[in-house]
Amino acid sequence: MNTINKLKVRLILIAFFAGIILSACDKNVKNTDNILLDKGWEFRQVGTEEWREASVPGCVHNDLLTHGLIENPFIGMNEEKVQWIEKEDWEYRNVFNVSASLLGKASITLNFEGLDTYAIVSLNGQEILQGDNMFIAHKTDVKSYLQKGANELHILFKSPVKKGMEKLQKLDYILKATNEIAPEGERTNIFTRKAPYHFGWDWGPRLVTSGIWRPVEIKAWDLLKVEDVFFAPQSVSKNRANYEAKVTVHVTKEISVKAVLNIPNVLNKEITFDLNEGEQEVSIDFQIDNPKLWWSNGLGEAHLYDVNISFFQEEQELEKYTQKLGVRNLELIQEADSIGRSFYFKLNDVPVFAKGANYIPSEIFNAIQTHETYQRVINDAVKANMNMLRVWGGAVYENDEFYELCDENGILVWQDFMFACALVPGDSLHLENIRKEANYNVKRLRKFASMALWCGNNENLIAWNNWGWKEAYPKKVSDKIWRDYEKVFYEILPEAVANYHPQVSYWASSPQAYGDNMPDRKSGDEHDWTVWFAQAPFENYAKEVPRFVSEYGLQSFPEMTTIKAFTTEDKDLTYRSEVMEHRQRSNMEWIAPGMNGNEMIMRYIKKYYKPAQNFEDFVYLSQLTQAKGLKTAIEAHRRNMPYCMGSLYWQINDCWPTMSWASVDYFGRWKASHYAVKKAFEPIILSVEQTSKVLRVYVISEKLEAFQADLQLHFRKMNGDLLLAENHEIEVLPNTSTICFEMPLFQINFLDARKREMFLQVRLGSDNVLIAENIHLFRKEKDIRFPIPKITTQINIQEDQKILKLNTSHFSKGVQLSVKNEEVFFSDNYFDLIPGKDKEIILETSLDSAQISQNLMINSLADLYKSK
């Protein structure tokens, strides 16, 4: 049977069986009738014969992979072999059934939540819409196109790269873009409103996919449908919160309705409206007395109310809509001071030091990102004491579920619009497309309590002024490009925020200084890349600390299990093997020799540690170095509180298995740095600063009340012997940083040990409860001869928890725990172990005690240098 006949038989059979089922359902007449089109999809490359099963939501690469038609692009250098896909056009089709009752509904729309990207959609052979922006949803009326029984939906995706090329060729100058990996030299991404990182970034592959990346649904309804709800705060205090519910409703004929707004156990409000045919906004004012406020992680509960809005015609409920509401007041404060201007978020009158990271999508193919992965990333943030993530502008406006999880967990969101490190075309179609995208996403995301800031772009301003871009064009062209910048970032985007989400601030570019000026560290935010790109030592983090550090970081390799998942041969396992060189995307050797990421990792290791003797040790040291860098940075930022009020490192996650700045790898495995970040972001920390002359201890607290505590300093030899003890009762001030101890460094010279033979343990406690602890070394690790420790272990089961108890004979640096061939999560890892003091670690594993003890592996810095 040929393909057309096969299709006909399929259509008849589907229509028959669906007819039976649907006629049974017809008896149950409902106001709405929806069909989620998530099954029965097929795809093929344009110009080929065979249709194959496809996943929706999904994408071409993933479908090809499922059918074994391409090799896994995550392995080795396979990415190169699949580059042809981006230059082809692809088709998707679906045959679905429509019942008579659905057809009888007054309004029927086809809703695409996301088409990636250049899509031509036809229904039963007639074109119904065209898409050219992956970041917006499409909704189109299909009542007159549908028929009872089988219907065929067809989508043609044109190659985004070819489309981009057409646009590029129309311009007589090249628009700059840095990060796109362009094997053929032309950077086309800027012409397409599609995730920039799909075209390659300095931590990700180039896999320019196409597909239906978010759900597709037929929505059919009679009389009334709620399209959108926004609870616009009028005033919020701890005594009272006043809101205006702005409800967009669509009605199919003039009707009179009763709306009931209900918050269980809090309020119930009824109001009647006379509605005209079509879409309109109605407003319902309501007030919550003594509201439970929404707090960010660490400051209190992230309380969310369930607000139900129902519409009734007489006694028949036409529609019920439920939305969460987090009651909170959030402002970006930029007050003039003696140095410049502050830059911090004030939540319910409390200045919040933003602790967090930059977030990228956890998959290169967005459609395959699961709820579990979203949950895992947000849990990783929460576990590491974070209260903010920055959704960076080279990626996507995330799915609702990401923001829902942020709302539930008190994670504030710094939201970039999707523009990064590139110039933006200024033709009217492109600008109109951007306007639609901005309006759509601001309206979609404004309902989330976690939304803290809208930011125009990532690094476009500094790129223009500092990366030689402005000068690269003749004056007339550069004036035009700058005018286009102004149109997008000073008009279109802030207008969208002002129109739909005026309660949240707009910040045109990250980084920049107050007044849209170039970053100056005296106001605004800063990306501190002195460490890594400028190759400065970690001590630099403490110099000229900015007001809010929205990016900084350094790379490491992921653990060996992850590395083995993307390599195939032993020869791959060296830090500059062909596979590792290929995967390392931070390569700026065109600027200066040695600016290759793998080499830079090695150089940073050598700054602080003795070099590794084999690849595994190199991987371990790369992680210790990254952990040390992030610890140094976070502590420096927090010590400078309230001058500095934010520390978001680059980056919490990965979109494929690779070496990168991530603190948690693609598979969710914590690197040493994530443990270090967790400690440095504790609500209360002690931080030691050693200058050439003094030793200072700072206490940093985000608690809102002052309290008395005991500060203890123990200067010890590596075997634990006490050289000097200092005990002080101190007052810990609320929500700030204070110096709680200071001594001239020369005093330590009189101790009975040299600085490279000792360590300092600082502890803060109250009523015998340990509040904070830190360890300070007086020399770089590479200048310290760590004695080989004897570490003893014991596994106890307490209330279903598996607890590993460790004890050491000597100070042990960077103790790394693993269980051979098993996936075990350790509550702490890559830690320092102090003699004379047991350390307990909780293990998440299904293994029993015997299995753990038999296969437990312990490594520490001293082990690396045994034979040296």
Q: How far apart are CA 368 and CA 249, in angstroms?
A: 32
Which residues are within 8 A (CB) of 578 and not within 5 positions of it... i.e. 6 or more apart? 77, 572
DSSP 843: E
Kind and range of the H or E element at 100?
Answer: helix 100-103
Instruction: Confirm or reject binding of residue 597 to ligand BMA (CB under 6 A).
Output: no
Minimum distance, C-beta of residue 645 to ligand BMA, in the bound complex (Å): 20
Q: Which one, 200 or 410, has the nearer CB to ligand BMA?
A: 200
Helix (H, G, I), strand (E, B) or coil at 598: helix
Nearest to 298 by CA among 838, 643, 678, 24: 678
Query: Residue 194 or residue 763: which is nearer to ligand BMA going by CB?
Result: 194
Task: State the minimum distance, in angstroms, from the CB of residue 108 to ligand BMA.
Answer: 43
- What is d(CA 199, CA 653) in angstroms, rounded to the nearest whole number? 18
How many Cβ atoms are within 10 Å of 859's Cβ, its own excluded? 17
Q: Which is nearer to ligand BMA, 458 or 812 (CB)?
A: 458
Q: Which of 587, 485, 575 is nearest to 533 (CA)?
A: 587
Instruction: Quote the least distance from Cβ 202 to ligand BMA, whole Å.
Output: 5
In three-state form (DSSP H/G/I as H, E/B as E, the rest C), the secondary structure along 770-799 is EEEEEEEECCCHHHCCCCCCCEEEEEEEEC
Rounded CA-CA distance 412/445 in Å is 13
Question: What character string, x for contact with ligand BMA (CB under 6 A) and - otherwise, covers 147-186?
Answer: --------------------------------x-------
Question: Shortest approach of ligand BMA to residue 527 CB, angstroms?
Answer: 5
Shortest Å distance, C-beta 421 to ligand BMA: 5
Instruction: Check binding of 394 to ligand BMA (CB under 6 A).
Output: yes
Give min distance, CB of 453 to ligand BMA, in A.
16
Select the residue interacting with ligand BMA from 91, 202, 572, 635 (CB under 6 A).
Answer: 202
Per-residue x/- marks for ligand BMA, 182-201, CB under 6 A? -------------------x
Nearer to ligand BMA, 299 or 420 (CB): 420
Residue 556: what residue type? S
Position 551 contacts ligand BMA (CB under 6 A): yes
Q: Is 167 helix (H, G, I), strand (E, B) or coil?
A: helix
Interface with ligand BMA (CB under 6 A), residue from 112, 221, 557, 650: 650
**Maximum CA extent, the chain:** 94
8-state DSSP, 82: G
Q: Which is nearer to ligand BMA, 510 or 687 (CB)?
A: 510
Among 43, 90, 203, 649, the residue binding ligand BMA under the rule CB under 6 A is: 203
Spell out the residues 6+ positions from residue 697 whose beta carbon is closer than 8 angstroms to its own: 686, 687, 688, 689, 711, 713, 739, 740, 741, 742, 762
- Residue 531 lies near ligand BMA (rule: CB under 6 A): no
Total of chain residues touching ligand BMA, rule CB under 6 A: 14
* Least spacing, CB of residue 625 vs ligand BMA, in Å: 17
Residue in the block written with tokens 């003696």: 338
Nearer to ligand BMA, 420 or 699 (CB): 420
Shortest spacing between CB 393 and ligand BMA, in angstroms = 8
Decide: 547 and 645 in contact? Cβ < 8 Å: yes
Beta carbon of residue 461, minimum distance to ligand BMA (angstroms, whole number): 12
Between 76 and 393, name the residue whose CB sits nearer to ligand BMA. 393
How far apart are the C-alpha atoms of 594 and 591, rounded to whole Å?
9
**Which residue, 262 or 663, is less far from ligand BMA as judged by CB?**
663
Residue 493 binds to ligand BMA (criterion: CB under 6 A) = no
**Residues 295 and 328: beta-carbon distance below 8 Å:** yes
Binding to ligand BMA in span 658-677, by CB under 6 A? 661
Residues 243-272, interacting with ligand BMA (CB under 6 A): none
Please list every residue from 403 through 462 that binds ligand BMA, using CB under 6 A. Answer: 420-421, 458-459
Strands (E) across 629-784 are located at 646-649, 684-690, 694-701, 707-717, 722-732, 736-744, 758-766, 769-777
The CA distance from 387 to 392, in Å, is 16
* Tokens coding 860: 């520490």
Distance in Å, CB of 551 to ligand BMA, minimum:
5
Toward ligand BMA, which CB reaches closer, 454 or 661? 661
Q: Please, what is the minimum distance in Å from the beta carbon of residue 248 to ligand BMA? A: 35
User: Closest distance between ligand BMA and the C-beta of residue 681, in Å?
Assistant: 20
CB nearer ligand BMA, residue 97 or residue 179: 179
- What is the C-alpha to C-alpha distance for residues 111 and 131, in angstroms, rounded to an integer? 12
Which string of DSSP letters, residue by residue, matches 236-274? E-SSEEEEEEEEEEEESS-EEEEEEEEETTTEEEEEEEE
Distance in Å, CB of 355 to ligand BMA, minimum: 19
Q: Does 374 bind ligand BMA (CB under 6 A)?
A: no
C-alpha 119/C-alpha 163 separation (Å) is 11
CB closer to ligand BMA out of 587 and 859: 587
Touching ligand BMA, residues 696-715 (CB under 6 A) = none
Residues binding ligand BMA (CB under 6 A)? 179, 201-203, 394, 420-421, 458-459, 527, 551, 586, 650, 661
